[in-house]
Amino acid sequence: MRVVEGVSGTWFYHLTDKDSDAVALCGAQTMHTAAPLSSWGFAGHPGHIRYRYCKECEKLAGIRSPQA
């Protein structure tokens, strides 16, 4: 399982378990990101853009965001 970044929005993350980073579990078009899986669900530093995480990918992967 890896974190990938959506191509249609800024700082919107998805999950994939595919060989390619081009498609998320939810079917969204995505691209590579250096964000580690351990960062999933964290909002970042105060004052920065709030990161968003795909709830559908989260459900399909069977994981819970630490902010849930």
**What are the residue boundaries of the structural domains of the chain, listed by start?**
2-61
What are the distances in angstroms from CA 34 to CA 5, 20, 26, 39?
9, 14, 20, 10
Regions of the chain short of the pLDDT cut 70 = 43-50, 67-68
Q: How would you label 38-64 residue by residue, b for 16+ Cβ within 10 Å and e otherwise?
A: eebeeeeeeeeeebebbeebbebbeee
- Please write the tens of the pLDDT for every residue from 4-22: 999 987 788 999 999 999 9
